[in-house]
Amino acid sequence: MVAKRLILDANILARAVLGVRVRALIERYAADVAFFVPESAIAETREHLPAILQKRRLPADQALEVLEHLRAFLQELPLGFYADQEAQARSRLADPEDWPVLACALILECPIWTEDRDFFGTGVATWTSERVEIFLSA
């Protein structure tokens, strides 16, 4: 049984697709940690990846394959799961686009893995990639 839960922000998904360390952490701890992601974060990642890949001169097809591979380790949360928390989440954030991630964290009462400072001070624990293994391995 998975004891720990963690919400992933879209920037973490992008890092997992583009790099090695974040993807390795997700794969390594997937048996012990439930990694949740709002469906909007996956859509946001898909939306922003082409520009990032073009800038880095990387092939898009391989990146999308990695994203599909990662989805096997994630529990995707549909809009209907977190929509009722939209107003509450938006009221705590400076960037209104981030509300789905915070709404999911509020419902599941679990921390967020992000590189986005907008989540700091929202009343939900946040972990950055630099420190998240402390949480994952505890």
Alpha helices by DSSP H, listed for the chain, are 10-18, 21-29, 39-56, 60-71, 79-82, 86-92, 99-108, 132-137
Residue 33 pLDDT: 97
CATH of the domain at 63: 3.40.50.1010
Q: How far apart are CA 20 and CA 18, in angstroms?
A: 7
Residue 1 pLDDT: 57
Residue 61's domain comprises 4-137
- Cβ(129)–Cβ(113) under 8 Å? yes
Residue 48 pLDDT: 87
pLDDT less than 70: residues of the chain? 1-2
- Cβ(126)–Cβ(12) under 8 Å? no
9 DSSP 8-state letter: P
Report the number of distinct structural domains present in the chain.
Answer: 1
Residue 111 pLDDT: 98
